[in-house]
């Protein structure tokens, strides 16, 4: 009789911010498939959130959704508490929520700058801080950055690159802070990945990728799942780029 493979995250509790669509939804799916009880936040995409819930429930996954705008510290902190109250102390926290407003430096509006910093940087800090306080020792914290932290490449991306570069410093410091509790902290930096948001830019970006294709959400989710697993226990403070060689 063939041996049944043990799911790598059975019994673990996970929270993914911005998990209703795109890369976030792919991470939710993969963590649930690997046996974790997964909660995710959504801001405005209620319909997509419900679709994901129904999809995962039909496949036997234990998935919950909480409405929370990552620009609001109080809402994000509440979602972390709700997850711990509903599912138990956290083992995995994935800070995925983010936005991209593009514009050259001479035209970029201050209010757009503030909102992007709030969601891409401040929310990562707030979420990581709140999650760490309610996380089991030996837990996993993963933030989703971008390869634009390494290479901006196009006009109009300076502020987005700034926010993603900030995450590289955050994870290095937090990794040291939480090392006494054996909590690892890492940053995944996707390159061009096929999502609804990126579909309009495929023809522009694909020729710049040595592998000559866009990444798949499932590939990003696989890396996140590995970093969330027991096998990745000696990786911390790292920023890992997954972009088909785009920044090589």
pLDDT along the chain (248 residues), means of 10: 73 97 97 97 93 93 95 97 97 96 96 97 98 98 98 94 98 98 98 80 87 96 98 98 96
Phi/psi of residue 242, nearest 5 degrees: -130, 95
Please check whether residue 76 lies inside any domain of the structure.
yes
Asked whether residue 1 is assigned to any structural domain, the reply reads no
Q: Is residue 51 part of a domain?
A: yes
CATH code for position 85:
3.40.50.720
**Angstrom distance (rounded) from CA 181 to CA 191:** 31
pLDDT of residue 86: 96
Contacts of 183 (CB under 8 A, 6+ apart): 132, 135, 137, 138, 139, 140, 141
Residue 64's SS3 state is: strand
Q: Is 26 helix (H, G, I), strand (E, B) or coil?
A: helix
Q: Which domain covers residue 118, as residue numbers?
A: 13-242
Report phi then psi at 62, rounded to 5.
Answer: -100, 100
DSSP per-residue codes, 117-176: HIIIIIHHHHHHHHHHHTEEEEEEEEEE--GGGT---STT-HHHHHHHHHHHHHHHHHHH
For tokens 């593009």, name the residue. 102
pLDDT value for 154: 87
Q: 3-state DSSP call for residue 220?
A: helix
Contact 61, 40 (CB under 8 A): no
Concatenated DSSP letters of 66-93: EE--TT-HHHHHHHHHHHHHHH-SEEEE
Q: How far apart are CA 174 and CA 132, in angstroms?
A: 10
pLDDT of residue 199: 66
Helix (H) or strand (E) holding 177, with range, is helix 158-178
Does residue 112 form part of some domain?
Answer: yes
The answer as to whether 247 is a domain residue is no
What is the pTM for the complete model shown?
Answer: 0.95
Q: Is residue 6 part of a domain?
A: no
Residues carrying an active site annotation: 160
Residue 167 lies inside a defined structural domain of this protein:
yes
pLDDT for the residue numbered 196 = 73
Pairing of strands 90-95, 135-144: parallel
* Cβ proximity of 88 and 59 under 8 Å: no
What pLDDT does residue 2 have?
Answer: 52
State the total domains in the chain: 1
Torsion angles phi and psi, residue 239, rounded to 5: -115, 115
């Amino acid at each position: 009789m063939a041996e049944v493979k043990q799911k790598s995250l059975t019994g673990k509790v996970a929270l993914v911010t911005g998990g209703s669509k795109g890369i976030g939804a792919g991470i939710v799916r993969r963590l649930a498939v690997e046996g974790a009880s997964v909660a995710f936040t959504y801001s405005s995409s209620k319909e997509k959130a419900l679709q994901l819930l129904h999809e995962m429930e039909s496949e036997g996954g234990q998935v919950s959704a909480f409405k929370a705008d990552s620009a609001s510290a109080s809402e994000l902190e509440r979602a972390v508490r709700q997850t711990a109250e509903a599912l138990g102390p956290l083992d995995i926290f994935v800070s995925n929520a983010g936005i991209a407003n593009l514009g050259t430096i001479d035209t970029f509006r201050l209010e757009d700058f503030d909102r992007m910093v709030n969601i891409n940087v401040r929310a990562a800090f707030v979420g990581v801080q709140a999650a760490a306080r309610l996380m089991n020792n030996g837990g996993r914290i993963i933030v989703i950055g971008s390869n634009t932290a390494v290479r901006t490449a196009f006009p109009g991306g300076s502020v987005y690159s700034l926010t993603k570069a900030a995450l590289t410093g955050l994870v290095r410091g937090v990794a040291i802070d939480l090392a006494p509790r054996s909590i690892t902290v890492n940053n995944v930096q996707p390159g061009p990945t096929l999502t609804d948001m990126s579909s309009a830019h495929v023809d522009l970006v694909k020729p710049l990728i040595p592998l000559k294709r866009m990444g798949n959400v499932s590939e990003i989710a696989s890396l996140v799942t590995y970093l969330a697993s027991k096998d990745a226990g000696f990786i911390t403070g790292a920023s890992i780029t997954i972009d088909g060689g785009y920044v090589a």
